[in-house]
Amino acid sequence: MVAAELALAGVEVEVVDARSERWPHPRGFTLSARSLEILDRRGILDRFLAEGPVVQYGMFLPGVFLDLSTMDTDHPYTLGIAQNRVEELLEEWLAELGVRVRWDSELLDFRQDEDGVDVLVGGERRRVRYLVGCDGSRSTVRKRAGIGFPGVDATSHGLIADVEADFEALRTGEVFVLPRPGYVRIVLDEPEPRRGPVELAYVQELLDRKLGRVVPLENPRWLSRFSDAARQAETYVCDRVVLAGDAAHVHPPAGAVGVNVALADAVNLGWKLAATVQDRAPAGLLRTYHDERHPVGAQVLRTTRAQSLLGRDDLAPVREMVADLGVGKQLAELVTGVGTRYDPRIPGDHPWLGRLAPNVEVGGRTVAELLHPGKPVLADVPAVGKVLIRPDGHVAWVDDEATLTAALETWTGP
């Protein structure tokens, strides 16, 4: 997504991946409302909506469900779609923009200076203006840049098993199970974590113990471990090296928010980096990527760790209390990203400032349609007035002549 945002702005970009092909197993199955809003503002949402069902509820904790229809968004639901399919659709869009992924191309080393970055990819040395690390939780870019990755070590562990099994026999609420075409995904606690590859017999043993009966598991597609470890890069921007997605933050898989946070990182970063590379950015624009997204990442770590901890069997009374608090809308907007607000850096108290602009109609076109080219929009919105909208869709200024110059200088340059 970062590469697509750069290409959309006319920046020459190259994507390299050490893998020989896209990861075949879906790590998650949902796109949140904020991700759908992002895709809508680039004109590609319909491709994704055609892939799966939408649901207007979500589970925050066992027994604590969220009514997503209450959210202030034009997409009050989540989309059921495998993460590897999301990646495939984004790669297709990237190819339409003239950029192809170079597989089997491992970043081996790099050195940065005040003018650029020397990179070694495979056996080829290149000189680039900036390097963006979207290379996962074990990020080579992050490590070689010397960026700290503090956080909390794992206190609980679990297993993910994509297997063939009788879904009806498993949907008793004793374990988390998700039906998929031709198989099910089962998530189990691993009270005494082991090292090494996960074997089907071991998963069967844990499942039998949990259920007190046997539900046979067959033909495993993917068996993996996870934990509630949570870490975040000390900085997302280190001179000419930038981090996004799992390279910048890792957290428990509660809520399947990883891909959604990564998409929001990408759309926040892309236009700022493009303006910087093209020497048209206001001073400090790229740094605002860290300033805006690092707090969001920190909140994701706190929320997913809380979800992981509160899922324990002995904390059912706490979950019941959460369910009774009447904060479903706030929790829904928190976990989906719909409630995200950035500091507009100018005075003003309009409720739109810093938030994603509502998808209202302006002159016969919606705000989402106006943002398809990935450029800032100055629109005259009925009943609101003039509004400056950043390329990522967030409102930078609302109808106050006294602060317009400051807003333009902050976000678009002199």
Is residue 350 in a domain? no
- What was the pLDDT predicted at 256? 72
Is residue 310 in a domain? yes
282 and 241 together in one domain: yes
Of the candidates 225, 263, 224, the residue with the CA atom closest to the CA atom of residue 86: 263
Domain count along the chain? 3
CATH number at residue 361: 3.40.30.120
108 and 28 together in one domain: yes
Higher pLDDT, 270 or 154: 270
265 and 327 together in one domain: yes
State pLDDT tens for residues 155-201: 889 999 999 999 999 987 778 888 888 999 998 989 888 888 999 99
144 and 287 together in one domain: yes
Is residue 297 in a domain? yes
State pLDDT tens for residues 66-112: 899 999 999 999 999 989 999 999 999 999 999 999 999 999 999 99
CATH number at residue 186: 3.30.70.2450
Is residue 347 in a domain? no
What span, in angstroms and rounded, lies between the C-alpha atoms of 133 and 136? Answer: 8
Range of the domain at 393: 355-412
What span, in angstroms and rounded, lies between the C-alpha atoms of 273 and 211? Answer: 51
372 and 280 together in one domain: no
98 and 48 together in one domain: yes
15 and 130 together in one domain: yes
pTM for the model: 0.93
Is residue 349 in a domain? no
Q: Which residue is associated with the tokens 């000419």?
A: 240
40 and 95 together in one domain: yes
Per DSSP, the residues of 44-108 read -HHHHHTTS-EESEEEEETTEEEEGGGSSSS--SEEE--HHHHHHHHHHHHHHTT--EE-S--EE
State pLDDT tens for residues 336-382: 999 999 999 999 999 999 999 999 999 999 999 999 999 999 999 99
What span, in angstroms and rounded, lies between the C-alpha atoms of 263 and 245? Answer: 8
